[in-house]
């Protein structure tokens, strides 16, 4: 727990430009699925309040949100693929901008991380028909994962176009851009990884082939809204959602191509001393966002040390932002922090969502 005020020269408080995104500080709100959207994926007023409360972040990266109905991974996650959803995002963008913040939506296509009960009976899609081990939350409770349907080669341009359409809707709603979720075992990550990608066409096999679909989605979204409004999240070697990667060589190859396309930023989940992070940093000497994953707590002085060490330009922070709407102020003043309540992470109402007190409310109480 930090109890001393932050040095005003701290790298945490320095402005940063990520493509078209001009940030006031380098502490970003990491994407956090909270399952509070309406059942049909429409973002609601409660979410607008939640995000507006957290507008002090250098950049809010929203919860993972599906670019197409078949990409819905869990109950009550938002979508970005119809007019009502777009209107819901417009209310959120407005609320955050009114508070002086910046916000991009994370486009998360669940791929095989879903279930027919979540998809109105449809079968989840994936690079290959490889069922993940384990269970998934559905509207009817926890269920074993189902075997996904392998996407045909001739379907892939349409899937990429859905990402591009969602990116267009995001910007039309007034959001500042998008982050492609190519991490944590969801569809784009499933393509990158040989454990989940057994394809024999041009999208499977070699690292070049496994990177191809992610590159095409990056190109399609960049063409739709400008590369300088598109970021991407990667989790090299991450095992979440039953992933296994026999080598990480796809990542430097991919990072080089994303740099060529001119994306706004690359967001890496890794330990600060991970070898792969060093490799990616050499390719992205600027505009690299780090999240340390669950390996270590995102604590103020550790985050400042990461920035001072030069391995990243900004750090994304998850659970401390979940529990502290005014985290930047608290870290600046060295104030006490609210503790996150795990029981209310996924789903429910305002409790454990918009009712974490700000410092002013704590002082007044």
Ligand X SMILES: Cc1cc2nc3c(=O)[nH]c(=O)nc-3n(C[C@H](O)[C@H](O)[C@H](O)COP(=O)(O)O)c2cc1C
Residues at the interface with ligand X (CB under 6 A) = 30-33, 63-64, 106, 108, 181, 183-184, 233, 269, 291, 293-294, 297-298, 317-319, 345
Q: φ and ψ at 106, to 5 degrees?
A: -85, 120
Residue 268 contacts residue 280 (beta carbons within 8 Å): yes
The catalytic position among 51, 186, 265, 356 is 186
Count of helices and strands (H, E) across the chain: 11, 14
Separation between Cα atoms, residue 263 and residue 283, nearest integer Å: 13
Q: Which of 266, 74, 38 is nearest to 185 (CA)?
A: 74
Q: Which of 242, 238, 262, 264 is nearest to 250 (CA)?
A: 238
Separation between Cα atoms, residue 232 and residue 182, nearest integer Å: 7
| Cβ 266 to ligand X shortest distance, Å | 13
Handedness of CA 15, 336, 326, 43 (dihedral sign): positive
Q: What is the C-alpha end-to-end distance of the chain, expressed in Å? A: 21
| Residue ranges of E strands in 113-187 | 125-126, 135-138, 141-144, 149-150, 177-182
Q: Which of 312, 278, 279, 320 is nearest to 296 (CA)?
A: 320
Using the minimum distance from each CB to ligand X, give the nearer residue, 49 or 209: 49
Length of the chain as a residue count? 365
Residue 224 contacts residue 198 (beta carbons within 8 Å): no
Using the minimum distance from each CB to ligand X, give the nearer residue, 199 or 314: 314
| Cβ 157 to ligand X shortest distance, Å | 25
Q: φ and ψ at 19, to 5 degrees?
A: 60, -120
Catalytic, 186? Answer yes
Using the minimum distance from each CB to ligand X, give the nearer residue, 135 or 297: 297
| Cβ 285 to ligand X shortest distance, Å | 23
Q: Is 364 helix (H, G, I), strand (E, B) or coil?
A: helix
Q: Which two tokens stand for residue 18?
A: 């990520």
Separation between Cα atoms, residue 57 and residue 51, nearest integer Å: 10
Using the minimum distance from each CB to ligand X, give the nearer residue, 202 or 295: 295
Q: Maximum Cα–Cα distance for the chain, whole Å? A: 63
Using the minimum distance from each CB to ligand X, give the nearer residue, 31 or 148: 31
Using the minimum distance from each CB to ligand X, give the nearer residue, 167 or 199: 167
| Cβ 317 to ligand X shortest distance, Å | 5
| Cβ 183 to ligand X shortest distance, Å | 5
**Nearest residue to the partner ligand X, using Cβ:** 318
Q: Which two tokens stand for residue 4?
A: 């001393």
Q: What separation in angstroms does the CA of 113 have from each of 23, 118, 163? A: 32, 10, 17
| Cβ 348 to ligand X shortest distance, Å | 12
| Cβ 235 to ligand X shortest distance, Å | 8
Using the minimum distance from each CB to ligand X, give the nearer residue, 30 or 57: 30
- Which residues are designated catalytic? 186
């Amino acid at each position: 727990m930090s109890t001393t005020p932050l040095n005003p020269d701290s790298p945490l408080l320095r402005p940063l430009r990520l493509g078209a995104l001009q940030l006031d500080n380098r502490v970003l709100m990491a994407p956090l699925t909270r399952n509070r959207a309406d059942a049909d994926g429409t973002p609601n007023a409660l979410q607008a309040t939640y995000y507006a409360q957290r507008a002090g972040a250098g950049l809010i990266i929203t919860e993972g949100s599906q670019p197409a109905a078949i990409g819905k991974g869990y109950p009550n996650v938002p979508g970005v693929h119809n007019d009502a959803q777009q209107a819901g995002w417009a209310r959120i963008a407005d609320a955050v901008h009114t508070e002086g913040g910046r916000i991009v939506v994370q486009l998360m296509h669940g791929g095989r991380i879903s279930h027919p009960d979540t998809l109105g009976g449809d079968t989840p899609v994936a690079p290959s028909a490889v069922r993940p081990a384990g269970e998934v939350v559905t509207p009817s409770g926890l269920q074993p994962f189902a075997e996904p349907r392998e996407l045909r080669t001739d379907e892939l341009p349409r899937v990429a176009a859905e990402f591009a359409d969602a990116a267009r809707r995001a910007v039309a709603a007034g959001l500042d851009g998008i982050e492609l979720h190519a991490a944590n075992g969801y569809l784009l990550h499933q393509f990158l990884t040989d454990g989940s990608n057994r394809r024999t066409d041009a999208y499977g096999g070699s690292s070049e082939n496994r990177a191809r679909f992610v590159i095409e989605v990056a190109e399609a979204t960049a063409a739709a809204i400008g590369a300088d409004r598109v970021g991407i999240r990667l989790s090299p070697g991450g095992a979440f959602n039953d992933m296994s990667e026999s080598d990480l060589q796809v990542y430097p190859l991919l990072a080089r191509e994303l740099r060529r396309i001119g994306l706004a930023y690359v967001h890496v989940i890794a330990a600060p001393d991970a070898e792969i992070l060093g490799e990616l940093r050499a390719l992205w000497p600027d505009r690299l966002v780090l999240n340390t994953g669950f390996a270590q707590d995102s604590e103020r002085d550790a985050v400042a040390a990461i920035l001072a060490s030069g391995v990243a330009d900004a750090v994304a922070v998850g659970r401390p932002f979940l529990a502290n709407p005014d985290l930047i102020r608290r870290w600046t003043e060295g104030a006490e922090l609210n503790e996150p309540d795990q029981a209310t992470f996924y789903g429910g109402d305002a409790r454990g969502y918009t009712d974490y007190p700000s410092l002013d409310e704590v002082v007044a109480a």
